[in-house]
Structure formats: structure tokens, C-alpha cells
Amino acid sequence: MDELELVLRESFFPYWILYALLVSVAILSGVKMLRPAVFQHISATYVKPPSTVPNSKENLSFFGKASWMLLINYFIVSSITVYMVLMYYDIHQYWLVLLPTAYYFVQVFGLLFSGVISRETKRLSENFLLLNFIYQNMGLVLIPVLIMWLLNVNYSLYFINTIQILFVAFLLFRYIRGFFFAIQNKVLWYYIILYLCTLEIWPLMVIFKLLTADLEG
């Protein structure tokens, strides 16, 4: 009788990706220990203005420890996402993994720049909190999506499309809510249009051009 032998299943993606995702889960556990109700408060931001949510300065601002831990989680998970997409399409421009983090800081700079030239920095405070809220949530949502992708490599295209849909949905949510926050706080239309055209749409077009150029090449 032939002996049965267990063969280790080969993965399309390197195993360190799973370990990196476990690091992200560990970061989230640390956030939970630091602020037990943090995820409950953050989820409330979907329906309430960010500044009205309890502990918003700690959970969503640029000066809160929990906020930065959640942002670091986003930077890690989004970089892994781009890396997996690059591997799937056999693209070796691995510096592109920095694009999600760079785009976040471009948006931060855009809000600061718009606030300075319009002298409306205080009125844009809701938009700053909303920016962090969006990326923190994207980092949370991407973790289970990437784990499922690792376990179902044959459906990679479906997961890539799902990630694209999630990114666009979060982006539209931020644009729409941010627009209404700016209007409610009486920010001038001129500065809203200037910000959207030069510091939101233009960077997205650059990123799209970089990605499509590599895919076509």
C-alpha cells in the first residue's frame, strides 16, 4: 500500500504578509487596551460629526496616541495591499507601496494649506477629524479582506475589485461629508473648489497614472 505524505501547500504570496497582518491585529489589541470603547466611538462617526463623538481628540486627532496607532495600522495594511496587487500583476516597482501613506500626508498638507490661505483652519477641524476617521476605518476593513485573499488566491481579481470599490466608497463618503461640514462651517466656495481640484483630484490622477503605466508596461 502506498504511503500517504502530507505536502505543505505553497502560497502565491510570501508568508511574512500573514505575520505583518498579525502585527496589525496586535496594534489593534493595544488600541483596545488603551481605549476600551475606541471602536464604538469611532463607529459613531459614521452618523455623527466627528467632534461630537466622545474622546474624539484622542481617537481621531493628530495628537492622540490611539489615533496614531490606528493610522500606523492603516499605513501597514495599505502598503501590504499594494504589495499584493503588485505581486499579482508581476510588477516590480515596489516603491509604489508607499503611495497610500504618501497620499494621506498629501491630503493632510492640502487641508492645512487650504486652512492657512483661507484663514479658516478652525472651521476645517471637522474635516481633519473626518480624514483620520476614514483612513482608520479603511485599515480596519482591509485586514479581513486581505486574510480572505491570502486563503483564496484563485479569486484574486475579485478581491482586487473589492478593494477598489471599498477605496472609492470611503473616498466618496469623505468627500460628501467633508463638503457638507465645510458648508455648515461657512467655508467659502472658492476655497472648497480650489482644495478639491488642486489638492484632492490632482494627486489621485497622478497615482492613477503611475499605476496604469506600470500595468500597461
How far from 156 is each of 77, 85, 125, 204, CA to CA, in Å?
17, 9, 39, 24
- pLDDT at 166 (0 to 100): 95
Amino acid identity for residue 202 in this structure: W
3-state DSSP call for residue 202? helix
How far from 158 is each of 52, 74, 109, 153, 196, CA to CA, in Å?
37, 21, 33, 10, 30
C-alpha cell at 99: 503611495
3-state helix, strand, coil in the chain (%, to 5): 80, 0, 20
Burial environment of residue 55 by CB neighbours within 10 A (0 to 12, 13 to 18, 19 or more): middle
Of 82, 97, 170, the closest CA to residue 131 belongs to 170
| Rounded Cα distance, 182 and 21, in Å | 36
Amino acid identity for residue 138 in this structure: M
Mean pLDDT for each 10-residue chunk of the chain (217 residues)?
48 88 91 80 76 69 82 96 93 90 88 74 76 92 95 93 94 82 65 58 67 59
- pLDDT at 126 (0 to 100): 78
Q: Is the dihedral of CA 174, 179, 182, 185 positive or negative?
A: negative
C-alpha cell at 187: 467655508
Answer whether 153's CB lies under 8 Å from 14's CB. Answer: no
Amino acid identity for residue 175 in this structure: Y
Instruction: Provide the terminal-to-terminal Cα distance of the chain, rounded to the nearest Å.
Output: 52
- pLDDT at 215 (0 to 100): 56
| Rounded Cα distance, 210 and 201, in Å | 14
3-state DSSP call for residue 156? helix
- pLDDT at 145 (0 to 100): 97
